[in-house]
């Protein structure tokens, strides 16, 4: 049976380091190649050794697709292509291709120039990596090879962000990347057509959140800023790098400018930090949002946080309502959640299964989900058979599946459904009929023909809606079921009846047998 396999190398029950391996109809595609903001060691990149233990990565992977320029979706790309050694095609939209190298260079500078790490990708490697990138337009169908095709859809979220449809024959998967179903002040809402994929792989960062209106959020936001400024304080808003509002970055206070300012301002209770979105575990942002007020900084220094900490979601991710909305739009046969926390995913998974009656999966990193698909196989059918089988209407309706009976002929790589008579004629075969026969013992001391007459009268009386005939050769026919008396058994008082039927009349044949086994009514002779 055809199957689709999905293994997250990153972002499985976690946010950050997005990297999902998909096998569909013999093709292998890697979705995103991100870094993890919460780690500075080996765990920051996906574990690519999962992909293949023997052989070259390029031979195994048919292509890599990058959904958008955020580093948790593309931060490991130069490492993967220039250091691990992937040499095949990489697809992303034009804006992503333009912005991606800028962010990668920024990331490299912080890691190598500022933190002094070695064994990291170089500026030249970023350039060489980008040479392998094929830029795509939205809604453009890209033929990766003869069988594998991909197509990008608008995802909102940030400039250039795209959802990707991956298709081989009649099997397909849609990967959302990060997306937003409500338009904000500079980007529109994500959109996809009713493409009914076998699987929708969706992010689920805000799986349990339902956001209030944007207007209320903006009003509350301004109120908080005014409060702090009136007290004589300063307000820090760490934000997500490119393509959003411009304050200090990065958004999760894990490095760079926003972290420096935070360290300077944290000691003054008049100041305020407003966290505008989700923070990954391990980042300073996540620590202060979960109430930690004493932070260990580099060099074992303890930073006491006296400033006010506020959270207001101005995130560009879909909330629970948005995720449900996308599922309604695409009508997938199953859903798989990535890029979220296990607990929140569990809640959304139940909601999805209840509302849409489809399976929902949430594999952890390194865990493979296998789902079986039922591919469409085109079959030619003769007009005669179609007429015979369609009592209701001649025009087939894809929304109302209909059962057809016939003989399937496989010839020259194509399938045809024909009537059994036609199949026999084409294949030059004779027709055989298979009959099932049952023996029924009847207690009756009278002569055989008298006993048969009694059986005939009994059946005629009981089976009023059926045709019951007594034939000249002494047998009885009920519809197509044949009942014959046979040679007497050793016991003079017992007669044997043979009841026989064809495969099609199984139900009536068994019914008659059980009826006769109950015996004949007593008659006054």
Catalytic residue numbers, as ranges:
203
* Beta carbon of residue 229, minimum distance to Zn ion (angstroms, whole number): 30
Of the candidate spans 68-76, 121-129, 228-236, 365-373, the one that interacts with Zn ion by CB under 5 A turns out to be 68-76
The DSSP code for 368 is P
* Beta carbon of residue 157, minimum distance to Zn ion (angstroms, whole number): 6
Distances in whole angstroms, Cα of residue 342 to Cα of each of 202, 365, 489: 14, 11, 74
Distances in whole angstroms, Cα of residue 113 to Cα of each of 71, 105, 106, 117: 18, 11, 10, 8
189 burial class (0-12, 13-18, 19+ CB within 10 angstroms)?
A: middle
Choice between 287 and 339, CB closer to Zn ion: 339
Task: Report d(CA 320, CA 324) in Å as an integer.
Answer: 6
Report the site for Zn ion in 359-388 (rule: CB under 5 A).
none
Task: Report d(CA 478, CA 385) in Å as an integer.
Answer: 29
Contact map string, positions 237 to 276, toward Zn ion, x by CB under 5 A: ----------------------------------------
**Within 31-163, where are the H helices?**
57-60, 71-74, 77-78, 94-108, 123-131
Choice between 70 and 167, CB closer to Zn ion: 70
Contact map string, positions 287 to 306, toward Zn ion, x by CB under 5 A: --------------------
Does the footprint of Zn ion cover residue 70 (CB under 5 A)?
yes
CB 191, CB 329: distance < 8 Å: yes
* Beta carbon of residue 402, minimum distance to Zn ion (angstroms, whole number): 45
Report the site for Zn ion in 169-228 (rule: CB under 5 A).
178
Of the candidate spans 6-14, 66-74, 113-121, 502-510, the one that interacts with Zn ion by CB under 5 A turns out to be 66-74
Task: Report d(CA 251, CA 278) in Å as an integer.
Answer: 9
* Beta carbon of residue 154, minimum distance to Zn ion (angstroms, whole number): 14
For Zn ion (CB under 5 A), the number of binding residues is 2
Q: What DSSP string describes 69-102?
A: S-HHHHTTHHIIIIII---S-EEEEHHHHHHHHH
* Beta carbon of residue 127, minimum distance to Zn ion (angstroms, whole number): 23
**Residue indicated by tokens 């369609």:** 390
Choice between 22 and 158, CB closer to Zn ion: 158
Report the site for Zn ion in 465-494 (rule: CB under 5 A).
none
* Beta carbon of residue 92, minimum distance to Zn ion (angstroms, whole number): 13
Choice between 36 and 70, CB closer to Zn ion: 70
Choice between 70 and 97, CB closer to Zn ion: 70
Of the candidate spans 65-73, 284-292, 478-486, 493-501, the one that interacts with Zn ion by CB under 5 A turns out to be 65-73
Question: Helix, strand, or coil here: 371?
Answer: strand
What phi and psi values does residue 489 have, to the nearest 5 degrees? -80, 175
Choice between 65 and 476, CB closer to Zn ion: 65
Residues lying near Zn ion in the complex (CB under 5 A) are found at 70, 178
């Amino acid at each position: 049976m055809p199957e689709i396999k999905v293994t997250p190398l990153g972002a499985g029950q976690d946010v950050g380091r997005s990297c999902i391996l998909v096998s569909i109809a013999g093709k292998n595609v890697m979705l995103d190649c991100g870094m993890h903001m919460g780690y500075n060691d080996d765990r920051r990149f996906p574990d690519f050794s999962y992909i293949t233990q023997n052989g070259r990565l390029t031979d195994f992977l048919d292509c890599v697709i990058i959904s958008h320029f955020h580093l948790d979706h593309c931060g490991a790309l130069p490492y993967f292509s220039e250091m691990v050694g992937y040499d095949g095609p990489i697809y992303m939209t034009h804006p992503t291709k333009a912005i991606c190298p800028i962010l990668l260079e920024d990331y490299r500078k912080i890691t190598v120039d500022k933190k002094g790490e070695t064994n990291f990708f170089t500026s030249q490697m970023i350039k060489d990596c980008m040479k392998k990138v094929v830029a795509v337009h939205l809604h453009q169908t890209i033929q990766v090879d003869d069988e594998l095709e991909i197509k990008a859809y608008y995802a909102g979220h940030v400039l250039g962000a795209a959802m990707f449809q991956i298709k081989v024959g009649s099997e397909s998967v849609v990967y959302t990347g990060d997306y937003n179903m409500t338009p904000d002040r500079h980007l529109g809402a994500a959109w996809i057509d009713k493409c009914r994929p076998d699987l929708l792989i969706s992010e689920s960062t805000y799986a349990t959140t339902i956001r209030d209106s944007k207007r209320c959020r903006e009003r509350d936001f301004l109120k908080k800023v005014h409060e702090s400024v009136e007290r004589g304080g300063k307000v820090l808003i760490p934000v997500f790098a490119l393509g959003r509002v411009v304050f200090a970055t990065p958004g999760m206070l894990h490095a760079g400018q926003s972290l420096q300012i935070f360290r300077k301002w944290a000691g003054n209770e008049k100041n305020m930090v407003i966290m505008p979105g989700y923070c990954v575990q391990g980042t300073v942002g996540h620590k202060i949002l979960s109430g930690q007020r004493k932070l260990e900084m580099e060099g074992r220094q303890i930073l006491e946080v006296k400033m006010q900490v506020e959270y207001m979601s101005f995130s560009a991710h879909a909330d629970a309502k948005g995720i449900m909305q996308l599922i309604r739009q695409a009508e997938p046969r199953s859903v798989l959640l990535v890029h979220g926390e296990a607990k929140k995913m569990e809640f959304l998974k139940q909601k999805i299964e209840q509302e849409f009656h489809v399976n929902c999966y949430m594999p952890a990193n390194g865990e493979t989900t296998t789902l079986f698909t039922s591919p469409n196989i085109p079959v030619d059918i003769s007009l005669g058979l179609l007429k015979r089988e369609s009592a209701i209407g001649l025009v087939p309706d894809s929304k109302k599946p209909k059962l057809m009976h016939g003989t399937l002929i496989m010839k020259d790589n194509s399938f045809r459904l024909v009537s059994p008579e036609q199949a026999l004629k084409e294949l030059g075969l004779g027709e055989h009929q298979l009959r099932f026969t049952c023996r029924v013992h009847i207690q009756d001391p009278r002569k055989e023909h008298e006993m048969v007459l009694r059986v005939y009268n009994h059946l005629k009386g009981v089976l009023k809606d059926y045709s019951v005939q007594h034939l000249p050769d002494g047998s009885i026919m009920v519809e197509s079921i044949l009942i014959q008396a046979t040679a007497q058994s050793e016991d003079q008082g017992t007669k044997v009846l043979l009841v026989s039927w064809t495969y099609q009349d199984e139900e009536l044949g068994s019914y008659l047998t059980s009826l006769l086994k109950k015996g004949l009514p007593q008659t006054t002779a």
